[in-house]
Structure 1
Amino acid sequence: MVVEELLICIELYNVGVIGLIKPHGLVMCEVLLLTVECVFHVCVCVCVCVCVISTGPQTIKKAQGENVTLGCTYVQSPSDTGQLDVEWSNVSPDMTQKDRLILSYSGGTVYKLGDPGLMSRLKCVGDPGQGDASIFISPLQASDTATYECKVKKPPGIDSRKVTLVVLVRPSVPKCWVDNGEEIGSTIILRCKSSEGTSPLKYNWIRESGGSLPPTATQSKLTGELLIQNHSQSYTGSYLCEVTNEVGKEQCKYSLRAYSSANKAGVIAGAVIGALLLLLLLLLLIWLLICCCQKHFSSFHPIKYQLNLLERQ
């Protein structure tokens, strides 16, 4: 029965409840740095050392640009007589490497020891010396993804809490384009691609105008490709691609057209003829410019100028 009461009491302690009505007499048990006292039907958990009492998820997911509070509240015990020290560290994923200390509180002073880029965005929520060593980070960056550990030391007591922060990047605005042209009767591929964003990215094509996707169309949610076979005039219109992940979404549009092979040949021929006419016009302008320059310089030739003077005399 003592063990049952202890387990219940520890569970209640973890969620912040310190009392429980129990129909038992006096029971005293000490284990795992906790004391269970049951007097007059009341079971009370008493911490016999410094204890971190923050609760919450062990993994926190946030979007880049948002903010987060990493909780680390604690209680002290009269039996703790040493100097209070609080440390925040980045836990190394490599067990052979040391954790990286980013913030320390000792002797009433807070020391920021981590990367300056992170330290400029990190601050203490409360007074680390008065039971609240929580930290606040804003705005979040993808590089902030890590496991953070808060360690509270007041000899002989010591306790800690770890929390994993995952910073997710929203998708960037995707680019929409078409492969294989837009010729009637051909197989075309509409493509959609976002250059940034935390995986997995999911793509979805919809048709904004003209109803649902063509019956000959198939799309890949992973690559953002929309393949349309046997393209026709009825498949033209505005198509929208939306890319999403856990923390955001973005979209782009493409206006799909359709033309026949004859029209394609006409367009090519027109482009060639236009280019040739432009070239001929340019050559004509160059020829006229050369002629004007030659006429201008010849009128000021020194010998001809002297002959003209003699003739006038």
Structure 2
Amino acid sequence: MALASLPLLLLLVYCGSSRALELVPSDQKILEKSEGDKVTLECKYNVGPMDIGTLDIDWDLVSADTQKPDQSIIMFSGGVTYVNSEELKNRVHFSSPDPSDGDASIEIVNLKSTDTGSYQCKVKKVPGMKSRKIALSVYLKPAKPRCFIEGSQQIGKDLSLKCESKEGTPPVTYQWFKLTGQQPRPPGLNWDPASGTLPVKNASQYHSGTYRCLANNRVGSEECMLILNVVPPSNVAGVVAGAIIGTLLSLGLVGLLVFFCCKKQREKKYEKEVQHEIREDVAPPKSRNSTARSYIGSNHSSLGSLSPSNIDGYSKARYNQVPSEEHERPQSQTPNFVPPKVAGPNLSRMGAIPVMVPAQSKDGSIV
């Protein structure tokens, strides 16, 4: 009899246990996300008829130090939601508006690297209690890398293609691709995935083209591009000679301009000095009367040097030859001209030379 009732007892125990609180299986064990993303930590459950107690849901951040208590993040108790973490305040909430409907999953938005850790979901409903842990790792994806060329882009020279990303959770690896041509990667070239350096030895025009660098880590990737143009070496000697000749020609042109400017200034200065001297030194023109008087005075001066024997004939002949329009007129038209008296000092200023005239009688003989 006792043996016959044993299978029935086991059946009742099995049926009762199948109705107890249980968590829905999930594939989430380890999650990897990037900063700024959002994540949903799943925790769904089923309640059996024997679980008649109050429903409590609690999410904790498990401490890495076993000697320290876990940190409570968010909880649902008595139909009310409580957020207990200042770090996750306004960034964490239950996925379902009513967690008592069997979904205790939570969602964290705008993830940060400090959110990395192990999260534990605990669902309690007396007499049942179940829990689950999920590991979350938050990474910083690589920042947009910078592509550049180091070295001379000339045939026969050695150069390197560089790719650098300033941010990103390690390890960050790099890959190079040649976009022009039939081959997706640089033929015969090997790069360092850790540093992102692609060395090019003995460069030729075959290496010219457009290249793409891809920087990536666990949670994301970014890329940059550059153009490599390998050209023949330039004629350095010709360039230097051309620069020297151009400099000499420029200096010569400047020298000519300075010379002509100085010459022009000297000519202008000379013209001004000459005009100034003419205005100061040239005497004003003389009138006809002063010319006649000067002529007569010169004849008188000549008389002073003659002897008494020939003074009479010479004076008559010279006085009859005065070049004046008045003397050339007919006798009837010639007015009686009386020369004005001029003082001695005025005569000196006019350029006259004082002479001694011998006294004469009425007949012209010297007394």
In structure 2, the residue matched to 1:67 is 38
Counterpart code for 1:131: G
In structure 2, the residue matched to 1:250 is 222
Q: TM-score, with normalisation over the residues of structure 1? A: 0.64
Contact 2:83 2:89 in 1 (8 A): yes
CA offsets per residue over residues 130-150 of structure 1, 9 Å max, x none?
332211223433332221101
CA offsets per residue over residues 100-124 of structure 1, 9 Å max, x none?
11112222211101134x2312211
Contact 1:216 1:230 in 2 (8 A): no
CA–CA distance in structure 1, aligned partners of residues 219 and 245 of structure 2: 52
2:10 to 3, 22, 28: 28
CA–CA distance in structure 2, aligned partners of residues 45 and 54 of structure 1: 17
Pairing of 1:116-155 with structure 2 (within 5 A) = 116=87, 118-126=88-96, 127-155=98-126
Distance change in 2, residues 1:114/1:57 (3 Å): same
Q: TM-score, with normalisation over the residues of structure 2? A: 0.56
Offset, 1:264: 6.0
Q: Tell me whether 1:219 sits opposite 2:197 in the alignment.
A: no
CA–CA distance in structure 1, aligned partners of residues 152 and 167 of structure 2: 27
Distance change in 2, residues 1:54/1:185 (3 Å): same
Q: Which runs of 5+ in 2 are unaligned?
A: 1-6, 252-367
1:100 to 71, 75, 85: 71
Secondary structure of the residue that 2:114 maps to in structure 1?
A: helix
Offset, 1:261: 5.4
Contact 1:237 1:256 in 2 (8 A): yes
Pairing of 1:1-313 with structure 2 (within 5 A) = 26=8, 28=10, 35-37=13-15, 46-48=18-20, 50-116=21-87, 118-126=88-96, 127-212=98-183, 217-259=189-231, 262-263=234-235
CA–CA distance in structure 1, aligned partners of residues 45 and 161 of structure 2: 57
Contact 1:216 1:229 in 2 (8 A): no
CA–CA distance in structure 2, aligned partners of residues 67 and 61 of structure 1: 11
Offset, 1:241: 1.1
CA RMSD in angstroms comes to 3.4
Contact 1:148 1:162 in 2 (8 A): yes
CA offsets per residue over residues 44-76 of structure 1, 9 Å max, x none?
85244x333352321223344433221222233
Offset, 1:219: 1.3
Distance change in 2, residues 1:165/1:83 (3 Å): same
Distance change in 2, residues 1:186/1:216 (3 Å): farther
Counterpart code for 2:119: Y
Secondary structure of the residue that 1:189 maps to in structure 2?
A: strand
Secondary structure of the residue that 2:206 maps to in structure 1?
A: helix
CA–CA distance in structure 2, aligned partners of residues 104 and 264 of structure 1: 76
Q: Which runs of 5+ in 1 are unaligned?
A: 1-24, 38-43, 281-313
Distance change in 2, residues 1:196/1:72 (3 Å): same
Identity %: 38
Indicate the structure (1 or 2) with the bigger Cα radius of gyration: 2
Secondary structure of the residue that 2:14 maps to in structure 1?
A: strand
Q: What number of residue pairs does the alignment pair up? A: 241
Secondary structure of the residue that 1:119 maps to in structure 2?
A: coil
Higher strand proportion, which one? 1
Distance change in 2, residues 1:110/1:267 (3 Å): farther
In structure 2, the residue matched to 1:298 is none
Offset, 1:214: 5.6
Offset, 1:80: 4.1
Contact 1:243 1:251 in 2 (8 A): yes
Secondary structure of the residue that 1:28 maps to in structure 2?
A: helix
CA–CA distance in structure 2, aligned partners of residues 96 and 266 of structure 1: 78
CA–CA distance in structure 2, aligned partners of residues 255 and 45 of structure 1: 69
Contact 1:152 1:158 in 2 (8 A): yes
CA–CA distance in structure 2, aligned partners of residues 211 and 219 of structure 1: 19
CA–CA distance in structure 2, aligned partners of residues 29 and 247 of structure 1: 50
Distance change in 2, residues 1:270/1:217 (3 Å): farther
Secondary structure of the residue that 1:152 maps to in structure 2?
A: strand
